[in-house]
Amino acid sequence: MLLRWKRRQELAVAAFSQQLKALGEANVPAARIGIEDQSAPLAQLGRAINELLDDLDRRGTRLKDREGLFQRLVETVHDAVLVHREKIVFANARFLDMLGMTAAEVVGKPLSQFAAPEYVELVANNLQRRLAGDTAAERYEIELVGKHGEVTRVEISSTVIESSGEPALLLTALEMLSSVPHESTPSRPRATITLDAMGESVITVDAEGRIDYINHAAATLLGQSSEQVLGKAFPDVASLVDENDRRSLGDPVRKALATGGRVTMGKRAVLVPVNGSLERSVEISVTPLKSNGNDFVLGLVLVMHDTSEMRGLTRQMSYQASHDALTGLVNRREFERRLREAMDAAQAGDVGHALCYLDLDRFKVVNDTCGHTAGDNMLREVATIMKDAVRDSDTAGRIGGDEFALLLVGCPLEKARQIADDVVRAVNDYRFVWKDKIFNIGVSIGLVEIGRGGGSIEDLMNSADSACYVAKKQGGVHVHVYSAREEANARHSGEIHWLQKLQGALRDNGFELYYQPIMHAQANGERGPALEVFVRLEAENGQPSAPPGEFIRAAERYRLMPHVDRWVVQAVLSALGRGGLKLPPGRSVAINISGQTLGDADFLEFVVDCFDHTGANPGDICFEVTESAVVTNLDHVRRFSAVLHGMGCEFALDDFGSGLSSFATLKTLPMDYLKIDGSFIANLAVDTVNQAMVGAMIELSRSLRFRIVAEQVEDQLSLDTVKQMGIDFVQGFFIGRPQPLSITPGPLQINTL
């Protein structure tokens, strides 16, 4: 008899699911419900529904009032049926009769409100998980309490449907036992029903704390059968420990029995089965089962939720947010957080710490000679050397391109000097081998003591940076302990030297332009940038040209970047205007504009005047701005880009993805191109995290109608990967290295494009 009732219920649910799908199609005649079982009860259901549909067809009715039609369909069914979202939105007459209530008393309330107390959590949890699309039982037994206390045991079945354009649950309640008054229910209302179909792990214990039931999911979680655990106390089956320090979290069963209240354990709980089965991260709730009318505890229900996968993902995301993807060391944000904790501890106690600021020597030689891939490999190897040279209690972090830092916790100054010397010695002894080349590098270290009255974190980092600057200038001395007066004098003299050189270059036209080609990644590509120009100081007396990073830092310090950018813009536009620089048809030249220059209110007028005087075509220019420059000067950038974009210039957002502001500002700026930061392109072919992030950037760009440029493409594999991912343009050492841009007297020839 029970099997026939279940068969009838399953077919009814399937019929309703099929009919609701038909109802969801606008202005489509109602489809007939196919009836597999022609037994009398089910045939009556099928005839009632199909007669209603035939009546609609005869009258030519279209399905405009879907909810009303659906309710009419449900009302013809003899089973108790309701539609549930967060709360009940519809219940048929059979369900209302079961509870002895009216629609007004039921609709708008959750089903769990009508369940017996011991089933409230079970019902609420199952409905929530089913609506969310998570794994949960599609069928289970509960007890419903009617208006006058009568109890009806029912089997609840649920299926996910679409109602009014939103997901909902179609629930049927099949009566299993006759209704009896609530007062006559058994005195042991424990959750010993058949729950093997549930995804949650459920265990019940008696008043003495002995296990008397375990469902299939719990047995799987514990790695033990019901015969092995029945009659035992929970500590004889498994223990709970903290995932961080492995300390015991105690017995949740004993805690619940002692307090008579609900006990929860989560966030950091790890379930350790006594038989050595696999440990799992769990969230546990223990709910007492009490007799009616008093607080006497009859037993407990334990519900265990396996959170291992979720916590693993959380730990992975936390690690990625706090660690440098290239070297595995902590990143600048995490390093500064730990440094702040050390400074607070130094202020509160007598324990001192030390901070080391490290800058690699001759790193640029590796990058320029062998490319960024080689440089990245060298940085990874150097990071390992640094980490091995410090103590386990210390922190090594990467805070910039080739800049690192060490936090030496509880370390006196003399011991810190010894550790710094060990790092210098290890790096000096290291040889980096790349193909047929061997490089030896060095490191300069600035050391500062962390004690009371150390100032802010910015002051401390600047002090260590200044000491590193002195160590680098002193040549053979690789470790320098901070002294405020020495650092100020050394840095001032060094910066004055750069100031004099920059002023002379601006006065005497002592800059020169370099260019790097940009190539289409796709066949039959559209218009776009053909090259990017860079500014360099001219070499003096046969010496190599100054590293761009050094003179640009000095130019920014002395607020000279607007003058440097004006020189670049005027030089490029003049060359285009007189024909000294010719571009392929439909292509443009990219010019970088610094954040300092974008903040100059007069710069826009200067650029417009340059176009007027030189006769250059605005469509031949693509201005590049970085994320950080946009955030710092957002209002100026909007005005600058809006005016020049209207004249025909194009704009590219450089280093996209290196900051957190990109997605919030993109919609408000007239950008044409996104240049994905080179750190995402490195190892793109094998790095699944980078692939996911680049894929997300591409999807965003397509939705905003931007074209994409990939920077730092260093080898054939990277080129093939970015092409497959649909990136539009590529740039990097594999495409072409930077080389001098000759803009007089003849036109530029770019053979690589």
The catalytic residues are 402
- Contact yes or no for 623/644 (Cβ under 8 A): yes
Could you tell me the end-to-end alpha-carbon distance of the chain, in angstroms, rounded to an integer? 80
**String of b and e for 410-425 (b: at least 16 CB within 10 Å)?**
ebebeebbebbeebbe
Neighbours of 62 (CB within 10 A): 11
DSSP secondary structure code for residue 184 in this structure:
G
Element (H, E) at 722: helix 716-724
List beta partners, residue 513. Answer: 535
Count CA atoms closer than 13 A to 386's CA, side-chain side. Answer: 32
Axis crossing angle, helix 332-348 with helix 457-473, rounded to the nearest 10 = 110
Helices (H), 455-483: 457-473
Extract long-range pairs of 272-278: CB within 8 Å, 24+ residues apart.
272/238, 272/239, 272/240, 272/241, 273/222, 273/223, 273/224, 273/237, 273/238, 274/236, 274/237, 274/238, 274/239, 275/223, 275/224, 275/228, 277/222, 277/223, 277/224, 278/223
Helix (H) and strand (E) counts for the chain?
26, 30
Of 105, 104, 87, 74, the closest CA to residue 173 belongs to: 74
Distances (CA, A) of 70 to 15, 16, 149, 462: 12, 9, 31, 71
- Contact yes or no for 408/354 (Cβ under 8 A): yes
Q: Give the E-state strand segments of 134-265 in sequence order.
A: 139-145, 150-163, 166-175, 180-181, 201-206, 211-214, 238-242, 263-265
Element (H, E) at 359: strand 353-361
Q: Indicate if the alpha-carbon torsion angle 643, 673, 693, 656 is positive or negative.
A: negative
Of 265, 258, 273, 221, the closest CA to residue 242 belongs to: 265
Q: What's the full length of the chain, in residues?
A: 753
Calculate the CA 516 to chain-centre distance: 33
User: Secondary structure of the chain: what % helix, strand, coil (to 5)?
Assistant: 45, 25, 35
- Contact yes or no for 489/469 (Cβ under 8 A): no
